[in-house]
């Protein structure tokens, strides 16, 4: 079982990264052999000079083989860029390049987030803090403890403020020779040009519906109908497709949102729909975060050998209570609710995408996303013209920008839905 098996719809990229990982391992072995031979043949006083020489050769080999030390993985949400980053890290660090029949211990540690030489920054906050980045820089300058590389992965680097990005810039431009940085963002335009110009760009494709359906069938217990519908509604987003397939509440909330938008007749309908959406997003986010906190607390007890209900030792109480710290939970709920609302914007946009498909007589070639609502969407496509459909899509993007600028969610959606009333 290859470490790449979990990557969906990215075969050309997988082949390229897999080849680079193997070539890097060959270059590292050659460099290590050269150092060993030189150590045996040279006088002790020449050892440092010989090692520096071979390190330079190693760097040259690495450049020739195309292994950059600073990467930027870009792809639309759900394309699997974070999973690809972890798989690439495993291929670089593992002795079998992640290609063994069974995952090596190194691969398992990296995928589980427990390997000492691979650090992943994944935040539940709206932005990535400057202190977090400074901590990563300090880690990157340390020699790897067991593996060939010290690898730093930053998910959603687009959440960095400009001053935070500037702190990272110098390290990306001149990384330590044993460090590899992998940054993840939706698109190159979401990061500063100075970062783009100093990284090797890898653009991910949108996975096909067939590929996502296959993934859902292989990794869940749902039937083919549910998997196919979930992948269609998710529009290539692997994580959301899995969520739709396995969470009835999330799927039901989406269905209600689509019907609500299609049935709006007056401004009062828009205001009520906005309130229902905000309440739904808050409820989904709170349920998800509280479930995660509960899992983390159970794992904490299990790791420390403490049974459920058993009194915690004094020395562990602070760490345990930090898991469910109210301020952190509130911040995580806010962040997750924003994710739900962003997903809602995509769902609403799919209505006007389908309208455009019908208005341009392109259903046979492009297909519809909201097949279950085809009749209502057809009626709306007759009531509004093409210019109006485009204006509605522009209004949705305006709402997305307002949310990204910390606009009040209820006001943002009241304004959006009022604009969408035909």
Output the pLDDT for position 51: 62
Output the pLDDT for position 29: 59
- In this structure, what is the dihedral angle of CA atoms 310, 315, 321, 322, given to the nearest 10 degrees? -150
Q: What are phi and psi of 268, to 5 degrees?
A: -60, -35
Output the pLDDT for position 288: 87
3-state secondary structure of 23: helix
Give the pLDDT band (50/70/90) at residue 231.
very high
SS3 content of the chain, % helix, strand, coil (to 5): 70, 5, 25
Highest mean pLDDT among 43-47, 120-124, 319-323: 319-323
**Residue 282 token pair:** 């808050």
Output the pLDDT for position 126: 64
| Per-residue pLDDT tens digits for 334-352 | 888 998 999 999 999 999 9
**pLDDT exceeds cutoff 80 at 39:** no
57 against 281, higher pLDDT: 281
Q: CA-based diameter of the chain, in Å? A: 88
Q: What's the rounded mean pLDDT across residues 23-48?
A: 55
Output the pLDDT for position 91: 93
| Per-residue pLDDT tens digits for 164-213 | 888 898 888 888 889 999 999 999 998 888 888 999 999 998 889 999 99
Centre a 10 Å sphere on the Cβ of residue 155 and count the other Cβ atoms it contains: 20
Q: What's the rounded mean pLDDT across residues 258-280?
A: 96
User: What pTM was computed for the model?
Assistant: 0.74
Output the pLDDT for position 36: 46
For 254, the enclosing helix (H) or strand (E) is helix 248-262
Give the pLDDT band (50/70/90) at residue 35.
very low
Segments of 204-319 assigned E as strands: none
Output the pLDDT for position 74: 94
Q: What's the rounded mean pLDDT across residues 313-333?
A: 86
**Cβ atoms 72, 191 nearer than 8 A:** yes
**Cβ atoms 50, 4 nearer than 8 A:** no
Give the pLDDT band (50/70/90) at residue 120.
very high
**pLDDT exceeds cutoff 80 at 48:** no
Percent of the chain predicted with pLDDT > 70: 89
Percent of the chain predicted with pLDDT > 90: 51
Q: What are phi and psi of 74, to 5 degrees?
A: -120, 140
**Cβ atoms 204, 81 nearer than 8 A:** yes
Output the pLDDT for position 154: 93
420 against 128, higher pLDDT: 420
Rounded Cα distance, 238 and 231, in Å: 7
- Supply angle C-alpha 87, 91, 96, rounded to 5: 135
Cα-atom radius of gyration of the chain, to the nearest Å? 25
The answer to which of 46-60, 106-120, 215-229 has the lowest mean pLDDT is 46-60
**Residue 349 token pair:** 């946009």
- What contacts 422, CB < 8 A, 6 or more positions away? 264, 380, 383, 384, 388
Which of 126, 420, 124, 406 lies closest to 257, judged by CA? 420
Highest mean pLDDT among 25-34, 123-132, 283-292: 283-292
| Per-residue pLDDT tens digits for 356-379 | 999 999 999 999 999 999 999 999
The answer to which of 82-86, 255-259, 287-291 has the lowest mean pLDDT is 287-291
Output the pLDDT for position 280: 94
**pLDDT exceeds cutoff 60 at 402:** yes
**pLDDT exceeds cutoff 60 at 63:** no
Output the pLDDT for position 385: 95
**Residue 147 token pair:** 């593996």
Output the pLDDT for position 57: 58
3-state secondary structure of 128: strand
The partner residues of 185 in beta bridges, in order of sequence, read 74
**pLDDT exceeds cutoff 70 at 66:** no
Give the pLDDT band (50/70/90) at residue 47.
low
> What 8-state DSSP symbol labels residue 405?
T
- What contacts 214, CB < 8 A, 6 or more positions away? 8
Highest mean pLDDT among 48-52, 62-66, 414-418: 414-418
**pLDDT exceeds cutoff 90 at 276:** yes
Q: What's the rounded mean pLDDT across residues 91-118?
A: 88
């Amino acid at each position: 079982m290859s470490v790449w098996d979990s990557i969906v719809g990215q075969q050309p990229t997988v082949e390229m990264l897999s080849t680079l990982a193997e070539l890097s391992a060959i270059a590292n072995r050659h460099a290590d052999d050269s150092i060993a031979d030189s150590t045996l043949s040279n006088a002790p006083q020449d050892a440092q000079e010989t090692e520096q020489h071979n390190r330079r050769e190693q760097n040259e080999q690495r450049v020739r083989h195309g292994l950059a030390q600073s990467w930027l993985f870009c792809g639309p949400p759900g394309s699997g860029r974070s999973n690809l980053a972890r798989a690439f890290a495993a291929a670089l660090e593992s002795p079998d390049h992640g290609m063994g029949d069974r995952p090596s211990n190194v691969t398992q540690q990296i995928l589980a987030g427990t390997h000492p030489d691979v650090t992943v920054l994944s935040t539940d906050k709206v932005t990535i803090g400057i202190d977090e980045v400074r901590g990563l820089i300090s880690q990157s300058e340390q020699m790897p403890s067991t593996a060939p590389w010290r690898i730093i992965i930053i998910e959603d680097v687009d959440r960095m403020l400009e001053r935070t990005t500037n702190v990272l810039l110098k390290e990306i431009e001149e990384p330590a020779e044993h460090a590899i940085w992998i940054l993840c963002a939706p698109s190159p335009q979401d990061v500063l040009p100075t970062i783009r110009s100093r990284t090797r760009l890898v653009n991910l494709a949108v996975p096909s519906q067939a590929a996502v359906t296959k993934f859902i069938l292989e990794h869940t217990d749902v039937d083919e109908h549910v998997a196919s519908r979930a992948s269609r509604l998710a529009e290539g987003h692997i994580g959301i497709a899995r969520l739709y397939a396995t969470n009835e509440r999330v799927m039901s909330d989406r269905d209600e949102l689509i019907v609500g938008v299609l049935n709006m007749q007056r401004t009062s309908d828009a205001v009520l729909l906005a309130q229902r959406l905000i309440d739904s997003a808050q409820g989904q986010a709170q349920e998800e975060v509280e479930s995660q906190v509960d899992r983390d607390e159970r794992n904490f007890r299990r790791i420390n050998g403490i049974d459920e209900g058993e009194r915690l030792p004094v020395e562990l109480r602070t760490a345990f209570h930090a898991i469910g710290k109210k301020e952190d939970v509130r911040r995580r709920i806010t962040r997750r609710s924003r994710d739900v609302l962003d997903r809602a914007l995509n769902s609403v946009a799919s209505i006007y995408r389908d309208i455009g498909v019908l208005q341009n007589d392109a259903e046979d070639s492009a297909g519809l996303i909201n097949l279950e609502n085809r009749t209502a969407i057809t009626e709306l496509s007759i009531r509004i013209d093409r210019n109006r459909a485009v204006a509605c899509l522009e209004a949705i993007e305006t709402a997305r920008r307002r949310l990204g600028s910390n606009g009040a969610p209820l006001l943002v959606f009241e304004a959006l839905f009022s604009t969408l009333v035909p």
